[in-house]
Amino acid sequence: QVQLVESGGGLVHSGGSLRLSCVASGFSKAYYGIGWFRQAPGKSDEGVSCINMRDGSTYYADSVKGRFTISRDNAKNTVYLQMNSLEPEDTANYYCAGGWGDPPCDPSRPTKGMEYWGKGTLVTVSS
């Protein structure tokens, strides 16, 4: 059974940092992708970043490039999202999702192949 569990959200001041974690279990094949998505009130969902768990390739949304870094620890089946220089506009519920899309991470269609979703963790950035 595939399960994704996020943690690490919280309240931070503008300019601060947070690190989100996503523990993935039940993925029987190594060729899968884990993505981070966010949903802010009144805004459409956004694919923030994604990492190919086999080769480590990544992509980032333009809104977070240079500020966020996605990484993986295959031994722990965990994906991290390091978020620096946070802005009030980054306030949202952050979700991780995973699946066996081809390719595992597709910046043109971020939700493609993302079959499994966590419950989310709330990030609030105060000004």
pLDDT tens digit string along 15-60? 999 999 999 999 877 778 999 999 998 899 999 999 999 999 999 9
State residue 27's pLDDT score: 86
Percent of the chain with pLDDT over 90: 87
What's the mean pLDDT in 78-97? 97
Which position has the higher pLDDT, 119 or 31? 119
Query: What average pLDDT score do residues 88-95 get?
Result: 97
Give me the mean pLDDT over the 100-118 stretch: 93
Average pLDDT over residues 117-122: 97
Q: What's the mean pLDDT in 86-97? A: 97
66/108 Cα distance (integer angstroms): 19
Better-scored residue on pLDDT, 41 or 91: 91
pLDDT of residue 31: 75
| 124 neighbors 10 (Cβ within 8 angstroms) | yes
Residue with tokens 């269609």: 109
99's tokens: 């699946």
